[in-house]
Amino acid sequence: MKLWGGRFQKSTDKLVEDFHSSISFDQRLYREDIKGSAAHARMLGKCGVISPEEAEQIIAGLEGVLSDIEMGKVSFEVGAEDIHMNVEKILTERIGSVGKKLHTGRSRNDQVALDIRMYLKEGIRQTQSLLIALEETLLELAGAHLDTWMPGYTHLQKAQPISLAHHFMAYFQMFLRDLERLEDCYKRTNVMPLGSGALAATTFPLDREMVRAELGFDSITLNSLDGVSDRDFAIEFCSAASMIMMHLSRLCEELILWSTGEFSFVNMDDAYSTGSSIMPQKKNPDVAELVRGKTGRVYGDLLGMLTVMKGLPLAYNKDMQEDKEGLFDAIDTVQKCLLVTRPMLKTMEVNKQNMALGAKGGFTNATDVADYLAKKGVPFREAHEIVGKLVLHCSINKVALEDLALAEYQALSPAFDGDLFSFITVEHCVKARKVPGGPAPEIVLEAIKLGRTALASFGTKE
């Protein structure tokens, strides 16, 4: 008989039972469910709702159930619907009728809200840990490539020369914002809903603060309707995970481009590449491509969660059972992608020579020619037009700006002088950009130091 079956005259249809059950996926919440139940039982005993002896019997029974689950000795039943009722059923079978007192003053509605929050808190910290590891790798790579020159792009067209270090630090900033978003999400997840009951709390004198402290929450929910029906924190995580995946996808897209023969900027390690079943010469960046592809999967998790919640009246509705698979998938996917991206980056080979050659092509120093004129007193808009004409001349004659003779420059402006050529080398173009946030090596080095300080603050989190 179902634990809720008192008012029913017929058994649940087998088809409905399979459709209704969530144990196939919510069983991963067993630790959180048992930990939350033990805290609830201890509080019931302290408040006199049940006797202290009954509370200890329940807690000991729960510890035994947890141990047996960990050892693989427990088989969950579809008929018991979910992890909450499976644990309670097993507990009652072991310790008798006292196990039936565990659910006093509690509903599955606030119980599942508690379990998901506890699970997500750990998921957030694990995700942050993986992000920090990736960030540390980006800092290491940036430090090793302060003088690795490469072309920077806009519209995927060569624009201005930068360093590979500066490029890596752009991704460092993206992932740093992701860490901050996760930290904000953690704050809103770290609120304890147990005690909300089904929707209207309970008549029993519960000590919610006692449970909050034992389970390590910062605060308790202040409205029982909201306590059981809120899934903002889960949606927020999926949103933050989608942002992480978007940043990973952008990074992987560049690695895919850079590893092509057309770029030849990097060579992916064999351990993070695959071959072709028909073309023996192929070395494909499949790991990067999969990360890029899995981004759409996490976007789907977010959109699915938003769509489930968009039309639900207060308070709990069975639709909300659909929150778990998307949330679990978002956690699993983003963590796997972070886990594999770090060694992929660490093991790739950078072709500094090809990057430097790329930085010289495409008139990446054209802006510096215009800046040169501006520093000589020529209005920048006039300088821009002069250099545009120079670039057109070079394009027609298939030469670079640095290949022109000084007389050719002076034919367009008398402001040009012999110091021009040292001003427009790739190295000077990068090193001269010393504005905070710029690509000059000493500026990037300072950004690396600031990055390490920022990461250290996250390392102190619980």
Q: Which domains does the chain have, with CATH numbers?
A: 12-104 (1.10.275.10), 109-149+161-352 (1.20.200.10), 359-458 (1.10.40.30)
d(CA 424, CA 418): 11
d(CA 40, CA 32): 12
Give 19's pLDDT tier (boundaries 50, 70, 90).
Answer: confident
The string over 403-417, giving b where at least 16 C-beta atoms fall within 10 Å of a residue's C-beta and e elsewhere, is ebeeebbeeebebbe
- Residue 301, CB half-sphere, CA atoms under 13 Å: how many? 27
Give 8's pLDDT tier (boundaries 50, 70, 90).
Answer: low
DSSP 12: P
Beta strand 349-350 pairing with 266-267: antiparallel
| pLDDT in the model for residue 13 | 72
Beta strand 149-154 pairing with 157-163: antiparallel
Give 5's pLDDT tier (boundaries 50, 70, 90).
Answer: low
CA-angle at 106, arms to 100 and 109, nearest 5°: 120
Q: Is residue 155 flagged as an active site residue? A: yes
| pLDDT in the model for residue 241 | 98
Evaluate if residue 2 carries a pLDDT over 90.
Answer: no
Copy the structure tokens of residue 119: 């699970």
Give the model confidence (pLDDT) of 371-419 as tens digits.
Answer: 999 999 999 999 999 999 999 999 999 999 999 999 999 999 999 999 9
Average pLDDT over residues 297-320: 97
Copy the structure tokens of residue 169: 């630090």
DSSP assignment string, 387-444: HHHHHHHHHHHT--GGGS-HHHHHTT-TT--TTHHHHTSHHHHHHT--STTS--HHHH
Mean pLDDT of the chain: 95
Evaluate if residue 120 carries a pLDDT over 90.
Answer: yes
| pLDDT in the model for residue 1 | 57
Evaluate if residue 369 carries a pLDDT over 60.
Answer: yes
d(CA 234, CA 437): 34
Q: Which one is predicted more confidently, 18 or 344?
A: 344
Question: CB of 23 within 8 A of CB of 80?
Answer: yes
Contacts of 393 by beta carbon, 8 Å cutoff, 6+ apart: 404, 408
Evaluate if residue 343 carries a pLDDT over 70.
Answer: yes
| pLDDT in the model for residue 51 | 98
Q: Mapping DSSP to helix (H, G, I), strand (E, B) and coil, where does residue 267 land?
A: strand
Cα–Cα distances in angstroms (integers) from residue 8 to residues 4, 12, 14, 18, 317, in the given order = 8, 9, 15, 18, 20
| pLDDT in the model for residue 201 | 98
d(CA 18, CA 21): 5
Question: CB of 326 within 8 A of CB of 291?
Answer: no
Q: Tally the residues of the chain.
A: 462
Rg, the chain, Cα only: 30
Give 140's pLDDT tier (boundaries 50, 70, 90).
Answer: very high
Evaluate if residue 460 carries a pLDDT over 70.
Answer: no
| pLDDT in the model for residue 86 | 96
Give the model confidence (pLDDT) of 69-79 as tens digits.
Answer: 999 999 999 98
d(CA 143, CA 164): 10
| pLDDT in the model for residue 179 | 98
DSSP assignment string, 216-231: T-SEE-S-HHHHHH--
Q: Could you say which of 219, 276, 395, 457 is catalytic?
A: 276
CA-angle at 258, arms to 257 and 262, nearest 5°: 80
| pLDDT in the model for residue 11 | 73
Phi, psi dihedral angles at 278 (to 5 degrees): -125, -30
Question: CB of 195 within 8 A of CB of 206?
Answer: yes
Evaluate if residue 9 carries a pLDDT over 90.
Answer: no
Give 167's pLDDT tier (boundaries 50, 70, 90).
Answer: very high
CA–centroid distance for 334 within its chain: 6
| pLDDT in the model for residue 452 | 97
CA distance from start to end of the chain: 43
Evaluate if residue 12 carries a pLDDT over 90.
Answer: no
Q: Where are the alpha helices (DSSP H) in 145-276?
A: 164-189, 208-215, 224-229, 232-258
CA-angle at 453, arms to 450 and 458, nearest 5°: 130
Give the model confidence (pLDDT) of 426-438 as tens digits.
Answer: 999 999 999 999 9
